[in-house]
Chains A and B, each alone.
Chain A
Amino acid sequence: MKKYYLGIDLGSTTSKAIIIDEEDKIIGRGITNTRANYMVATEIARFEAIYNARFSILKMKLENEIKSNPTYEKYISDVESAFQYLQFKHKLEKLRIKFMDTIATTFSDDKREVIKKIVEGIVNTIGPEIRDAYLFSNLGSKNQFFRDIVSERYNAEIKKSESDLFDPLMLVYDKSITSVENELTEFDFKELIFQSIELMNEKYAKLDEALAANDSSIKFDTEINLLQGNYKKIYNSLKDHLEFVANMDLHITNMVGTGYGRALLPFPEKSIKSEILCHAFGAHAIFPNTRTVLDIGGQDTKAIQVDSHGLVTSFHMNDRCAAGCGRYLGYIADEFSISLNELGPLAMEAKKEVNICSTCTVFAGAEIRELLNVGEKRSDILAGLHRSIVMRAMSLLARSGGVKNEFTFTGGVARNQAVLKYVSELVYKNYGNDITINIGTDSIFMGALGGAMFARRSMTN
């Protein structure tokens, strides 16, 4: 039996799970936001990684067939999207019930019915919207969390309602989301995958119809063109393989936990590793020439120096001040009433960077309002804020011994384009243009990857 290894990174803001095979190859990724309950977050991330691993194993198994027949890959990805949607749908259904509960217990008789009607309307509107985003725009691959996916659209919808209902509608959402988010559901992979296939078949059938009717509202890319009219045949040839991965025993031989909540994991002591070591090890595995790692996480920033084997030689942490961490951006997003995902793109539109003087997260809020009052543009202020968080990270880097070629940037904040821009700019400025800067697509998973790699090594040692 093949052996697999699991790494769990229980961060202050997000929980990540990575599954690797015997060659350290990542085959499964899972991520969720860590809210009140660490244990549930771990399990959600772990289940997600295991589901994802089954899909990866399927693709690896069919590697040769996929080469000669690219439609297979598209088909499998589509099934995975549908699979993710079905999980989402299950949660949304729970949220609808919770919304109704909250409304019933929160509001007086006269308001209750009005709010109930609006909320039902919102759920009925956003449900299909999100469904299409999963099935046609690959929303599932964007690592967005249930809370963010729903809140973005829920907020947009309530803005359309009468203004005096804004607060009660927000209240319904705030009171309901956490408990649903923290509810753990383990799905039967096999059952769900065949439901996903049915869903895909519907989608493709629709495509066929749309094509026949010359409906231009649905976009066709080349792969879908290939699939069109062909999906039943593909399904027949993949059926046994799908069956196989659904039934296979995905045996996790060993696991290692890391991150801030690691002490809470029900793992033996030797299976709990410091996040410093895990982040460095993970980053070094992806970029083997890395000598300096900067990790900006939710509630701390780490500057780590590693040797040629990925072993940490020294590190420096900021765990005192929020103004250098991801949470700062979260706070700023709240101040601007936008979602975290919108921050970076808006900052990238800046024409200049407004100088931010406040060294404190909390006071930055007051400074932002001042700057808006004197007419500075939102995007320019945001650019300044992004620059200031990176400046803090630079000072930590300097304290840790500076940047040695190569430099790898990891952590949740590495997904923010504006942060990336300033990190690159300032690293080049301070340490020369010869520095190689690495930012991987899996940067948020480095800690979990390092954990999984340690899990494999402790079994083979």
Chain B
Amino acid sequence: MTVIFYLSSVIALLAAAIAISRRNAFHALLYVVVSLLAVAVTFFSIGAAFAGALEIIVYAGAIIVLFIFVVMMLNLGPQAAGRADGLLTPSMWFGPALLALTLLVELSVILIRATGTGTSDTAVGPREVALSLFGPYAIGVELASFLLLAGLVGAARLGSGARSTGGDR
């Protein structure tokens, strides 16, 4: 199981790195899908099968499909591949890179200090996940549902607004 964990972690990292370096948005999204699937496999390998299945259903199966939907809808074609070339000047990526580096250092410190929290073979079933989600973490679930409701209301407003003011209907 440990071998699978590290193997899929490496695949996830590699796929993510390839995804951000692709010029073709569609190919980049395919690598994002690979990365998400690999993350799901890491979840499976440490016994969090429920989280792994949800990762595939929600991220790989729904959210990325919507991204792909938009890319297909815009249908940019091959000439759009080079459009972002001039944008990536050193002054553009210096700030984000610095922030990301800080995060990486923090993460490494936490990982080094943490003891005894490696991979385990104890499987966490759906029941345990549900009990902790609607027990100690209920406030987080409620906050997330507020956020989703706000998104839903916004989408409904945008959709109905386009219908009442749109000229081409």
The judgment on whether A and B are partners is no
